[in-house]
């Protein structure tokens, strides 16, 4: 949704609107608006199948950057809802690695000491782990390349298709296999420390390049060339945290400006991995006392493990508010899940909703459809911040 221009002093907020009703004038609806604590109602005379303007005269003086709610009711039922930004939105600020940092090394590993964190990079595997300066684990391992295949989805064969067996849950989070690191190097840089990791998986070969600042901010660039043709559902890199990091929060650029408060696709929210223990256990075929979004399996609830598209920010935190934050420009996706003793966070640069080629061409942010040929280059950058 485009931002609404802020009017000059004394002029109304003006919103272009189309009345798509066949028989209802918009003045027959109850139209409510609000800006922070100020509320009001309007009844514009806009006949059916015509265009018009909603004029709103708020008393609030400083409107730039504020959010206006606009709700339409007919016969007491909500029929449409918008959350409209007034003025130009603030640009996403993605912090850069910076600050004093120390690089040490041994035959087995590189050691990086930042402002409030300690990082260890294994020289044989290239895997990293991060703890706070006091020794609290933040990142258990990563990064890991994920090329999630559509083993049980529609491709190009059309209808009908054989009903496949549902894959085991672990296949939904399968990272690439057979990793062999060929080079693991670390050097001081202008922004802090640069880590270069070259190697190959069974599925692809390439590199990771990490730039880490003493302020806990880092960029992780990855670039790999695929070894075979594949039908894919998600491509990105995966990080594992201890499973005590079980609270996910996010902000994103959604398709719609307004969602129900409990909608798993809402533009921002905070959710726990599992529903509250106060809910009773119920037998199968019995209606549970919790809503659908709190249905769960061992990976977490529906709302915890759902893919959040077009993110601006996503964070995994523990009860002490420590964790990691990923910041983006609205072009990436995140998905969290519980896997045994760990919480996984997948940051993806390619995402298909599970309909294969049937819907792939409609996804504007894709570099290619769901079918990628051999020798395709897959790459991306993750902006990550440590919160000790």
The CATH number given to 94-388 is 2.70.98.10
Fold (topology level) of 13-85: Immunoglobulin-like (2.60.40)
Cis peptide before 143 (omega within 30 of 0): yes
Question: What is the tens place of the pLDDT at every residue in 46-59?
Answer: 999 999 999 999 99
Selection from 51, 52, 53, 87 nearest residue 68 by Cα: 87
Question: What mean pLDDT do residues 237-257 have?
Answer: 96
Q: What are the sequence ranges of the domains in the chain?
A: 13-85, 94-388
Q: Which two tokens stand for residue 151?
A: 């083993």
Each residue's pLDDT tens digit, 324-373? 999 999 999 999 999 999 999 999 998 876 554 444 444 433 444 567 88
Please report where in the chains the tokens 């806009």 appear, as a residue: 46
Q: What is the pLDDT of residues 258-276, one digit of tens each?
A: 999 999 999 999 999 999 9
Output the average pLDDT for the chain.
89
3-state secondary structure of 220: strand
User: Confidence class of residue 169 from pLDDT cuts 50, 70 and 90?
Assistant: low
Helix (H) or strand (E) holding 357: helix 357-360
Mean predicted confidence (pLDDT) in 191-201: 97
* Signed CA dihedral, 225, 347, 1, 49: sign only: positive
Cβ 242 vs Cβ 342: under 8 Å: yes
Phi, psi of 303 (to 5 degrees): -75, -20
């Amino acid at each position: 949704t485009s931002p609404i221009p802020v009017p000059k002093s004394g002029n109304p907020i003006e919103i272009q609107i189309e009345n798509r009703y066949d028989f209802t004038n918009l003045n027959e609806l109850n139209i409510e608006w609000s800006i922070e604590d100020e509320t009001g109602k309007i009844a514009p005379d806009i006949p059916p199948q015509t265009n018009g303007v909603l004029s709103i005269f708020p008393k609030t003086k400083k409107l730039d950057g504020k959010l206006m709610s606009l709700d339409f009711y007919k016969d007491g039922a909500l029929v449409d809802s918008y959350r409209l930004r007034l003025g130009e939105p603030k640009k996403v600020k993605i912090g850069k690695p910076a600050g004093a940092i120390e690089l040490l090394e041994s035959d087995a590993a590189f050691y990086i000491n930042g402002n409030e964190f300690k990082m260890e990079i294994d020289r044989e595997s290239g895997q990293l782990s991060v703890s706070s300066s006091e020794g609290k684990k933040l990142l258990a391992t990563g990064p890991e390349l994920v090329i999630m295949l559509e083993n049980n989805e529609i491709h190009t064969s059309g209808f009908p298709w054989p009903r496949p067996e549902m894959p085991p849950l672990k296949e939904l989070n399968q990272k690439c296999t057979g990793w062999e690191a060929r080079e693991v190097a670390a050097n001081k840089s202008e922004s802090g420390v640069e880590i270069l990791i070259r190697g190959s998986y069974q599925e692809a070969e390439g590199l990771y390049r990490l730039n880490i600042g003493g302020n806990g901010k880092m960029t992780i660039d990855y670039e790999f060339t695929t070894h075979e043709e594949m039908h894919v559902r998600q491509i990105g890199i995966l990080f594992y945290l201890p499973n005590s990091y079980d609270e996910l929060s996010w902000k994103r650029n959604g398709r719609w400006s307004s969602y129900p408060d409990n909608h798993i696709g809402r533009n921002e929210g905070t959710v726990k991995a599992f529903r509250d223990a106060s809910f009773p256990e119920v037998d199968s075929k019995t209606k549970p006392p919790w809503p659908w979004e709190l249905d769960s399996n061992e990976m977490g609830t529906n709302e915890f493990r759902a893919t959040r598209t077009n993110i601006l920010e996503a964070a995994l935190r523990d009860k002490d508010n420590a964790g990691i934050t990923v910041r983006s420009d609205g072009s990436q996706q995140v998905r969290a899940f519980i896997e045994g003793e760990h919480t996984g966070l997948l940051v993806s640069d390619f995402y298909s909703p599970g309909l294969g080629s049937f819907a792939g061409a409609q996804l504007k942010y894709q570099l290619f459809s769901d079918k990628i040929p051999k020798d395709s280059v897959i790459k991306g950058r993750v902006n990550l911040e440590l919160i000790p």
